[in-house]
């Protein structure tokens, strides 16, 4: 059983209270703390419970035997009328929880009591252009600062003890369609962010800033033809390695409005010193307007954190015609093959295929379907490139108002969308929140206009089954086998957490936070939060006890874009609550881990 040395809870609480009352600053977050986050369960200072994003906790006081006794200890309301689309993962440092809410808000909450310590509300303009609701997925911590991105495409640094603004920088022009919804990250002392806005014909980019003052350090566009830059003494120096040639995989001037927004953020692999990012759909959706592979859209990119150069790329959907963004998280993990350790990375793509790559060079190791129905491709070739079913590509409009409509599975919202999966090193399995749905899709004529939607397509999403859409799957990345599944009537749209205690946590739009036996898939606990659970659960240790927290608040892309699917969720209540749970103390003290 994983425990830290016992400390008297009352004494620790008194010390913390004294610090807060005296206004004393808590310890700064260091680079070493960020890298060691998975080994220090008393805090969570990274999005993903570690820079690799495995979302695995070594804690096992709470386990599949005693989780049935898990109960709420406090709940915190975000308040106001902005109660929808809560997708954040909380961070915890020195007994304080930091998290974001919809409409670009940040909260600091006492992790023992749920009392609000401070709140920051960004002043958003009236003409923000978020594609898929007013969501935000979390903060980054470094030094004495809390960092987050806003819906009008700014990075903001707040003092973590007071919530006061230290600096604020414009990353991109929101009037062109840019926004930021992902949690930024800290890599080697640099603040890294991507941008959203592919549906508006923006040019995707990844940028690094000095976290102390917001100075831009480097910029790497994610559309081939645009060169990257490093910034020294206020001057931009071209750093176009792997930038590609303008128009090489894009026709005419389409690369100038090519999309490929890295809107979900990334993770970092210390073993290879690479930042791993995914990129979104090419713009416009109408693929007949842009023949070619359209690099680096719908891809995974490995970047040098020092200057942003692309070291390798893997494109999951070349010449994407279905909005199968490649942003889904690329999670580092190691496994043995014939006695040799393989440094791998895995991703469950929106297009329905699960990919395992060599993260040292991006080479394709294996790929396989992880959902039941894929119609747009018949499989993958030896390099992982899809073998297209051309009958499933929507037709060109020609002289008609719209081209021929086709039915395609999965739907454009993906076999898996933004919601992060988790990897358990004990079971060797990935736990993947997935959805079984398809769509009727057709192409339309379109011309780029700054700040306007740049799709060139229409669609209607449909469930593939009467009794379920969402499926939580346990997947073996080495064999390609599905070990177990759990079905859900509504789509799954929340993140996953797994623990050494043989547990998997995730939420449902119906309002439940649920726990499953990691080995068997048996549901062993659930709690009704009052609104759809879209956030990513976390677990941590405080005063010798293990806690679990999750954000609840229905919203996001499904009710906005969901077509026939939206009918299944039309009566779900919106919300904005942070829930925290633990075992009764006597059970924590006697807990033992058994399968």
Residues 6+ apart with CB under 8 A from 252: none
Q: What is the DSSP string of 63-76?
A: -TTTGGG-EEEEEE
The strand ranges marked E within 111-164 are 116-121, 140-142, 145-149, 154-159
Assess contact for 442 and 486: CB atoms under 8 A: no
Residue corresponding to tokens 């990897």: 423
Q: How does 21-44 read in b/e, with b if 16+ C-beta sit within 10 Å? A: eeeeeeeebeeebbbebbeebebb
Residues annotated as catalytic are 323
Residues 6+ apart with CB under 8 A from 438: 373, 375, 407, 408, 409, 410, 411, 461, 462, 464
Half-sphere exposure of 452 (CA within 13 A, CB side): 6
Assess contact for 486 and 467: CB atoms under 8 A: no
Assess contact for 511 and 531: CB atoms under 8 A: yes
Encoding tokens for residue 52?
């690799």
Which of 64, 134, 93 is closest to 534 using CA atoms?
A: 134
Which of 182, 65, 176, 46 is closest to 583 using CA atoms?
A: 65
Assess contact for 161 and 143: CB atoms under 8 A: no
Residues 6+ apart with CB under 8 A from 580: 72, 73, 74, 75, 111, 114, 547, 548, 549
Residues 6+ apart with CB under 8 A from 486: 471, 472, 516, 521, 523
Dmax (CA) for the chain in angstroms is: 77
The span from the CA of 543 to the CA of 387, in Å, is 54
Q: ∠ CA(46), CA(51), CA(53), 5° rounding?
A: 90
């Amino acid at each position: 059983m994983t425990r830290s040395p016992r400390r008297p809870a009352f004494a620790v609480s008194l010390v913390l209270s004294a610090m807060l009352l005296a206004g004393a600053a808590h310890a700064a977050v260091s680079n070493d703390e960020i890298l060691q986050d998975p080994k220090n369960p008393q805090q969570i200072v990274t999005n993903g419970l570690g820079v690799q994003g495995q979302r695995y906790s070594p804690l096992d006081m709470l386990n599949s035997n005693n989780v049935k006794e898990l109960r709420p200890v406090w709940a915190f309301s975000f308040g106001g009328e902005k109660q929808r689309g809560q997708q954040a993962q909380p961070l915890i440092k020195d007994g304080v929880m930091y998290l974001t809410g919809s409409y670009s808000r940040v909260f600091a909450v006492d992790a023992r009591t749920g009392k609000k310590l401070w709140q920051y509300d960004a002043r958003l303009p009236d003409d923000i252009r978020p594609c898929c609701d007013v969501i935000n997925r979390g903060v980054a911590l470094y030094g004495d600062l809390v960092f987050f991105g806003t819906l009008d495409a700014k990075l903001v640094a707040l003092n973590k003890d007071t919530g006061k603004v230290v600096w604020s920088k414009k990353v991109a022009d929101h009037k062109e369609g840019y926004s930021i919804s992902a949690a930024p990250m800290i890599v080697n002392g640099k603040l890294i962010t991507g941008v959203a806005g592919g549906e508006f014909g923006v040019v995707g980019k990844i940028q690094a800033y000095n976290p102390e003052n917001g100075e831009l350090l480097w910029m790497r566009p994610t559309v081939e033809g645009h060169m990257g830059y490093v910034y020294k003494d206020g001057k931009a120096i071209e750093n176009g390695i792997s930038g590609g040639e303008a128009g090489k995989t894009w026709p005419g001037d389409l690369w100038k409005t090519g999309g490929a927004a890295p809107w979900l953020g990334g993770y970092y692999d210390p073993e290879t010193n690479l930042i791993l990012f995914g990129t979104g759909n090419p713009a416009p959706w109408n693929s007949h307007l842009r023949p070619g592979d359209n690099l680096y859209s719908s891809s995974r990119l490995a970047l040098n954190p020092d200057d942003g150069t692309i070291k390798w790329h893997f494109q999951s959907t070349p010449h994407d015609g279905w909005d199968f963004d490649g942003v889904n998280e690329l999670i580092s993990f190691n496994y043995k093959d014939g006695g040799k350790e393989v440094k791998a990375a895995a991703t469950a793509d929106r297009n329905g295929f699960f990919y395992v790559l060599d993260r040292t060079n991006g080479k394709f190791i294996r790929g396989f379907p992880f959902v039941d129905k894929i119609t747009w491709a018949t499989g993958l070739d030896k390099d992982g490139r899809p073998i297209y079913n051309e009958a499933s590509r929507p037709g060109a409009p020609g002289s008609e108002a719209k081209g021929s409509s086709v039915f395609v599975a999965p739907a454009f919202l993906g076999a898996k969308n933004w919601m992060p999966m988790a990897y358990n090193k004990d079971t060797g399995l990935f736990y993947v929140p997935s959805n079984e749905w398809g769509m009727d899709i057709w192409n339309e004529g379109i011309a780029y206009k700054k700040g306007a939607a740049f799709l060139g397509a229409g669609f209607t999403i449909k469930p593939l089954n009467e009794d379920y859409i969402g499926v939580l799957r346990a997947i073996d990345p080495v064999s390609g086998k599905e070990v177990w599944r759990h079905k859900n009537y509504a789509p799954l749209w929340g993140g996953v957490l797994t623990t050494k205690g043989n547990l998997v946590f995730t939420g449902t739009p119906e309002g439940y936070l649920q726990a499953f036996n990691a080995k068997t898939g048996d549901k062993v606990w659930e709690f009704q939060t009052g609104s759809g659970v879209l956030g990513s659960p976390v677990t941590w240790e405080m005063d010798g006890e293990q806690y679990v927290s999750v954000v609840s608040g229905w919203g996001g892309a499904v009710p906005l874009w969901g077509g026939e699917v939206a009918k299944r969720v039309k009566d779900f209540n919106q919300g904005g609550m942070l829930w925290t749970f633990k075992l009764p103390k006597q059970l924590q003290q006697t807990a033992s881990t058994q399968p």
